[in-house]
Structure 1
Amino acid sequence: MRIACRARWIGGTLGFWCLALPFMAGPLPAGEGEAAWQKVDTEEQLLKDTHQIMTPGLFDRGAVTKVAFPVDGTPVEIKLPHEGVGADGKPRPPLQGALRQRAIWLDLDGDKKPGAKEISAIGPDGDAGPFAYAASYADGASGIYTFKLQATRVAGEFLIVRLCARVARPTKKNAVVLIDDDGNGLYNDVGRDAILVDTQPVSYLGRQMYLGEQLFELVVHPSGTTIELRPMAHYQAGRVNLFKEYTYPQKAENLRIHTVIAQGTDASFGFSPQQPTRDLPVGAYDLVFALFERATERVYMLKGDKTSFSVDANKEVTVKWGGPIRANFTATAAGPEISLSPPSFVGVAGESYFPSDYRKIPFYGYLNVYQKDRRGNLSDRTENKATDKFPYDANGELKPLVFEYRRNDELQLAIEYRSGILGPVRGERRLSHNPR
């Protein structure tokens, strides 16, 4: 049996009534007319650090807003909301900032003069801030947006990383946390921003969300100061189990899987070993993100070529993913120099795994030479000629590993990573080497 609930706002309170339905049944039929949209205001919540709420944007940085500061100290625009007019009746100017002498200046008050609270030195980890900016929006809303700037491997380039969230409480028992995960000062970017509802695993923001067992339609205002929601009616659902066919790369104590996100057209939903199943509206989905943690090591996962699946009404669907993990890399030669690229780690569904910081666990490369038998023919035996660790940058991202070898030989290039999450992973490539 499955308990299906309907909800309706009555006198400012979200009330529920439930019926026991057969397994996989959809929501109860709508009553007379649709439920009205309910507006709920949010409150700002400052975060102690960026990882207080771990979201996809902290690891997959492709969609995070970037700022490119000229090295000569020229001010540039910081792309954060500045709609409307100021106290002087004039349009609000965009936020400006500059990189000067290993420090960041942001003109937070718009007077074009550096103030004590507008300057932050760049720390050894490449971070500057926090900064508190009075953002304003086209609908007249405004709010303080707190963030820091984090250096990338590109000179003068920084990411805008959120240090705040917006919290809505539709009922006394429910909390909806909105996170501007792409760092543009807007909270309504479907598929890019993040949402955390009660004790559910974090997921990308969508147009639907669960409160308890009830599915709601959701609208988030750009400023994040208000959300609108109403119980969703007239939909069909199927059950998704994301851990029935998941294979752990290795059995590890204290492994935590924070979230596994299934993303569809209208919504994303988070899963975990503690919440492995969920009823989702019918449609096409993809396994787009997962986050693993063990001790000081973190690994995140992005979708592959076999991670998509469809949800059909009143049926259960599973996805085969996980181990064993294989390592892919390229080996190229230019004269005596042989370069091994940073690897990619791939699971059985083609999903890609990325250690968040290679400084935690050393990553090794090997240069081996194939040996010849008594007749001068190449055998499968190899002799190691060089071993070294892959170098990494200030953010813990790998750089290519370069060996120098000056003899004509048939080489085996190998890489090895002994992860507490992915397990021992090894990859090999063969290269006919002629240094001339």
Structure 2
Amino acid sequence: MTDQDESHDARAGVAFTDIYVDDDIVDRVSDTLRSTRYVKGERVERFEAAFADRCGTDHAVGVNSGTAALLLSMQSAGIGPGDEVFVPGHTFFASVSPVLHLGATPVFVDVDPRTCTMDPDDLAAKAERAENPTAVVPVHLYGQLADLDAILDVADDHDLTVVEDACQAHFATRDGHTAGASGDAGAFSFYPSKNMTVGGDGGMLVTDDADLATRARRLRDHGRDEEGVHREVGLNYRMSEVSAAVGREQLDRVQEWNDARAAAAARYDGLLAAVDGVETPTVADGAQHVYHLYVVQVPAADRDPLRDYLAARDIETGVHYETPAHQHPAVAERVGDVSLPRTEALCDRIVSLPMHPRIAPEDVETVCAAVASYFEGKQGGVAESEPDDPADSGTTESDPEEPTDTSPARTDGGREESQ
């Protein structure tokens, strides 16, 4: 959506997210394209410096995805075959795939069902039993930091490398920690739906470790050092100059957008507080949530019917994530049977409601009214997916010659989310 499109007609439904582009960003991209310097230039360096300053770290390394930032964080820290790496069971697949790619073994940790982040007590118990505990990847999920104080204590006790997955938590804070800045390295994603983007895929690695940063810069460019010598085998994970130009412009605005997300979340919280059957997000004491996603919990039996009910009213939703990380076939064949009861129960209960910085108050009210209507109708035994009148959903009669989507607003967040 561009800044010329200011319409928020409730009859048109409520979109799950909103990609925003204005003239300043277009101008930065145009200037970069006219420069004809598209890779390995000053724009990436300036973006890296500004991002490191914003995080409070000594170094930042721009890459082409959040997944690359995670992979290079781990690889540059020396994680490899035989190492055991602790990861939460509830996360996007990219928190786990770099561990597997490096030949290390993921050890899955259950979550705190209130915050949906890694449970430090389960981490401590599994670290005690591990044969070769090497690293931990606390995931700051949905925009809220994991309990870093407790996790860092466990890491100190077992000499674990800490790689923060901050791909969904740009500049969130908790107990004095800023996302990405307290571990050995932190990884951010700039996928288009994130709190800030680079106009496509992109990522950033941050660290205070000069040696780790130097190795990450080498590995992102085919293992090549500043003299052009290939010191080790690397691949191409470079960030483009165009991406950096967009990112630098967005960096100046991300706090404003985070504040807007928090205001929308507060409105959701207030309107849903009285809805029996809905549990709104829990924000930990001392935490500043940046609401990459607004995720509620409902009874498992109601999750899919609720999504269908909202879809029939042209309200988009997602599920982040329906399949626990340890149950994906690519992981299960490597780790075998793993039981994480809280993670598995959580994955059946979560629903992501529309959230973005430009969501209008009336759109939040529309969503909440529909959620309340579903649960009120269920109590009365009359909840139905389809509205009484097609006009109520903002849809029109479809052309019989055109294919139709039976639930156009029910997006699959697990497939749409990336980093």
**Computing the radius of gyration over CA atoms, which structure comes out larger, 1 or 2?**
1
Higher helix share: 2
Task: Considering Cα pairs closer than 8 Å and 6+ residues apart, tell me whether 1 or 2 has the greater RCO.
Answer: 2
With the shorter chain as reference, the TM-score category is under 0.3
Structure with more of its chain in strand, by fraction: 1
TM-score normalised by structure 1 residue count: 0.23
- TM-score, length-normalised on structure 2? 0.24
